[in-house]
Structure 1
Amino acid sequence: MSADDTPDVVVLRQKIHGLSADEYAETLRERLPDKNVVLARTPAEERELLKQTPVATGFNIDADVLAEAENLDLFACVFAGTGHLPMEALNEHGVAVTNASGVHGPNIAEQVVGAILSFARRFHVAWRQKQRNEWRSYPTHELQGSTVTVIGLGAIGQAIVDRLDPFGVDTIGVRYTPEKGGPTDEVVGFDDEAGFHDALARSKYVVVACPLTDTTRGILDSDAFKTMHPDTVLVNIGRGPVVDTDALLDALRGNAIRGAALDVTDPEPLPDDHELWNFDNVLITPHNAGHTPKYWERMADIIAENVERLGKGKTELQNQV
């Protein structure tokens, strides 16, 4: 390979949300017309190209290829979460890591608002009656005046709060550093058990928008569901294990909550014989909230900015982990 053919950015052969890696590479070429963006189509091509490129992007990278990736300065992960990456190996080889924080904000926030409105206006009842050609009025709810707790105030949590604002709701945010405040009317900390349960007790909608950590794993347990009002709806677009599935099932069986909208579950994928499928008041989507036709556009913006920074010798990168 000649010097002119040396890749500036390598797109790994990995698809997400049904989106083609070819489309990702083409979007990057349009965004970086002066750079050589190459798509690795086979495992052998990946290994060879990673030896030469300063920037690689995909959802994962094998730790065993890093020893030969001597020129690699940046791995741009196309996921917001990076817990699946070999971070120790990347650090050891001096490879910076960025994530897709902010890419999902608009689409996931719209999914959350849609789920909340669906439960408020009880569209699921309308769909069932339509299937029976049944013209019969049914009671509904109003979102206005409700309290919504958003667990996690990262880019996605903030986008959710922004889109809820015009609906006239009161919002409570839960975050690690409540002293930072946030876009919500109130903020409590994960370690403030009394404040957290007070928020759950007052909320008609509880939205999970946090990553999975030792602190958040199972934070919505049987005690949390006992605290929630029977009219509360759970919306989870974060990670499945943040919610204790057995406790959620108990709450649903006992009418301890009004329902749930789950884009993520534990286990995942949800087995076809799992009890969660059987509840009329549970909306399940297959980890689909992250899908958007603008995914690659937003990823390309992040990478283009960081390629420019690297070219200027800057070490501080956008979305650096």
Structure 2
Amino acid sequence: MIGPKTPVLAVLCGDQHPPDMKTIESVAEVRYSGEEGLADALRGADALFVYDFLSTAVPAAWHAADKLRWVHIASAGVDPVMFPELRASDVVLTNSRGVFDDSIAEYVLGVVIAFAKDLPGSLDLQRQSRWQHRESERVGGRRALVVGTGPIGRAIARLLRAAGLKVSGMGRRAREDDPDFGTVHPSADLVRHLPEFDYVIAVAPLTEQTKGMFDATAFAAMKPVARFVNVGRGELVVTSDLVTALREGRIAGAALDVFETEPLPSDHPLWTLDGVLVSPHMSGDFVGWRNTLVEVFADNFERWHTGRPLRNVVDKQLGYVPSGH
């Protein structure tokens, strides 16, 4: 039974409500809201579940958050809610770290193999009914740099290593004995190390330090035969510099799942450039992922409701969950 001290939960979800919320609804007053009604939903709310994790509506509605103690976002990235007022507040922020690790790693392995074996070229020739023999590249022995050493980056590293690639990482701290990457280079040395790698995979969280880190200088430092893969955030890349690098043959190709502007405009050159694979922000979305996101939230809600420590607590100054938390 819902009683007088029942917590109030606001859920930012738009038209698509999260599944499997009945258990939470039995112990909380749940207010489902789209972007326009979020301020009203936040008044008197104790917690906010940002189920629509691509929405940027929270900052504008924050003025109405008069009782809020906890925000949970249904994604690993927290940049849509990482605004100054939230950083400065006592509100606890948690994310959905762990849900997408393996599926994103599978996507990355898939595009690496697609590039090496020219699967897009084979599909194009098949559509033309053309029998054109080509030689393909080996994956084994190629070198990959995973920029971002969180759980998703580690899952990518393990899968690429199992396929025979030689993998290194890039993160805040340099180290030589990492169990998944072996060597981890410091992010400050990105341009220095880029010439060493055949595949560069961007999966870093979006922070002031990582925004635009892949720019003209970075692409000029890469091998002409290198491929760039972005499964992190679109804003990690200066898109115009990437387009120029691809057009001028400074890099051999790119697989892009995230973009500065989403959806990617239909007239954008990335749709038609040679050597580019475009997917609509779906690298982590496996069958049943929405249910899994709610399971993660429901576990944390039960912890929060009973006064136990929350999982996946974000360090609001760093912008991500520190290792070991």
Q: Structure 2-normalised TM-score?
A: 0.82
Counterpart for residue 122 of structure 2: 126
Contact 1:66 1:90 survives alignment (8 Å): no
Determine the C-alpha separation between the residues in 2 that align with 1:87 and 1:53: 19
* Structure 1 counterpart SS, 2:310: coil
Determine the C-alpha separation between the residues in 1 that align with 2:8 and 2:62: 21
Q: Which runs of 5+ in 1 are unaligned?
A: none
Q: Does 1:207 align with 2:204?
A: no
Residues 73 and 141 of structure 1: is their aligned pair in 2 closer, same or farther, counting only changes over 3 Å?
same
* Structure 1 counterpart SS, 2:225: coil
Contact 2:8 2:31 survives alignment (8 Å): no
Q: Does 1:28 align with 2:24?
A: no
Deviation, 1:43, is: 7.4
1:197 to 192, 199, 204: 192
Contact 1:161 1:171 survives alignment (8 Å): yes
Counterpart for residue 227 of structure 1: 221
Deviations 1:163-210 (Å, cap 9, x if unpaired)? Answer: 2221011101000122494511211001135xx523x22211110101
Contact 1:149 1:203 survives alignment (8 Å): yes
Letter in 2 for 1:184: F
Q: Does 1:55 align with 2:53?
A: no
Deviation, 1:154, is: 1.3
* Structure 2 counterpart SS, 1:161: helix
Deviation, 1:216, is: 1.8
Deviation, 1:86, is: 6.1
Counterpart for residue 247 of structure 1: 241
Counterpart for residue 66 of structure 1: 65
Counterpart for residue 183 of structure 1: 180
* Structure 1 counterpart SS, 2:21: helix
1:260 to 254, 259, 272: 254
Counterpart for residue 264 of structure 2: 270
Residues 89 and 254 of structure 1: is their aligned pair in 2 closer, same or farther, counting only changes over 3 Å?
closer
Q: Structure 1-normalised TM-score?
A: 0.83
Which structure: greater helix fraction? 1
Q: Does 1:13 align with 2:7?
A: no
Contact 1:6 1:53 survives alignment (8 Å): no
Deviation, 1:134, is: 1.2
Residues 232 and 27 of structure 1: is their aligned pair in 2 closer, same or farther, counting only changes over 3 Å?
same
Deviation, 1:244, is: 2.5
Q: Does 1:284 align with 2:278?
A: yes
What is the aligned-residue RMSD (CA, Å)? 2.9
Determine the C-alpha separation between the residues in 2 that align with 1:284 and 1:170: 25
Counterpart for residue 116 of structure 1: 112
Residues 275 and 206 of structure 1: is their aligned pair in 2 closer, same or farther, counting only changes over 3 Å?
same
Letter in 2 for 1:40: Y
Deviation, 1:305, is: 3.0
Deviation, 1:48, is: 6.0
Q: Does 1:38 align with 2:30?
A: yes
Deviation, 1:294, is: 2.9
Letter in 2 for 1:191: A
Contact 1:241 1:265 survives alignment (8 Å): yes
Counterpart for residue 323 of structure 2: none
Counterpart for residue 79 of structure 2: 83
Deviation, 1:220, is: 2.1
* Structure 1 counterpart SS, 2:219: helix
Deviation, 1:7, is: 5.3
* Structure 1 counterpart SS, 2:122: helix
Determine the C-alpha separation between the residues in 2 that align with 1:293 and 1:37: 29
2:147 to 124, 148, 151: 151
Deviations 1:106-162 (Å, cap 9, x if unpaired)? Answer: 222222111111101110111111111112211211111111101111121112112
1:319 to 269, 290, 312: 312
Contact 1:11 1:37 survives alignment (8 Å): no
> Identity of paired residues, percent?
30
Counterpart for residue 133 of structure 2: 137
Determine the C-alpha separation between the residues in 1 that align with 2:259 and 2:82: 24
* Structure 2 counterpart SS, 1:84: helix
Deviation, 1:282, is: 0.6
